[in-house]
Amino acid sequence: MNRQAQSAVLFLLGASLLHAATTDLYLRYVKAGLRPLVLASGVVLIVAAVATVWYERKRARRRHTQGDEQAHCHAEPRVSWLLILPLLALILVAPPALGSYSATRSGTALQEPLAYPDLPAADPLTLSVVDYAGRAVYDHGRTLQGRRVQLSGFLALDRDGTPYLVRMALNCCAADAQAVKVALTGEVPPVLQPDTWLRITGTYVPRRMKDPVNGGPIPFIEVTEAKPVAAPKDPYDESWNG
């Protein structure tokens, strides 16, 4: 792979990063807050590609002016072209967001919140899965008593058929995604398809179970209504502070 080919790969990779960051594609890989870094990385790669081309042309003109007719050819290993494979994967393959397969094979990552801010007087009260689970487990439902709450997430079924509403939470990127789960009881839809996104309305119940994977606490919610919804643009829970 010569310098011109390297420049082309750098340019295409930078352009791909810019494309991902200016659309919702980057959300499949990293948190929404990292968009500026993805944009900056794309710009740096494109600038590096352009600078490499400029340098090579300048060096070629200097050799021509000085009458340097010597060839400087070095055989490059063909295996270096395999570096293009990740680029092709980024361009051609948009991986799906992590779903029920990952959730049922990893234990719940619920951690105790630093505080429990006052909740608005809305009815139903819209909460994230992480917020509901933290209040239900570590605050023993004190701020949830007597409230109708609304949660959104995708369905996952445990080995024994227990249905969970799940959101995957990110520290940085999809590689470190962790599941936070809420077990469903009450008016649960009779036919459950894993990875279906639902918006459920329900009430807090003082019941919990241990995650069969890591023994972590999983709270329940008493479902009174469940509606299928489209998957959000950002499938990962942004309220996570893990």
Length reported for the chain: 242
Confidence of residue 175 (pLDDT cuts 50, 70, 90): low
The predicted pLDDT at position 1 comes to: 55
pLDDT value at 232 more than 90: no
Whether the full predicted model's pTM is greater than 0.75, yes or no, is: no
Report the mean per-residue pLDDT for the chain.
Answer: 82
Domain boundaries, the chain: 3-92, 100-237
33 or 225, which is more confident: 225
Over the stretch 58-92, which tens digit does the pLDDT of each residue have?
877 777 676 654 445 555 556 556 667 766 666 66
Share of the chain above pLDDT 90, in %: 34
CATH class label, 100-237:
mainly beta
pLDDT value at 144 more than 80: yes
The predicted pLDDT at position 237 comes to: 65
Over the stretch 188-208, which tens digit does the pLDDT of each residue have?
888 788 999 999 999 999 999
The predicted pLDDT at position 147 comes to: 94
Over the stretch 18-66, which tens digit does the pLDDT of each residue have?
877 787 777 677 777 777 888 888 888 888 888 888 887 787 777 767 6
Confidence of residue 106 (pLDDT cuts 50, 70, 90): confident
209 or 83, which is more confident: 209
Q: What angle is formed at CA 175 by the lines to CA 173 and CA 176, rounded to 5 degrees?
A: 75
The predicted pLDDT at position 203 comes to: 96
Contacts of 52 (CB under 8 A, 6+ apart): 3, 6, 7, 10
Share of the chain above pLDDT 70, in %: 79
Report d(CA 3, CA 188) in Å as an integer. Answer: 60
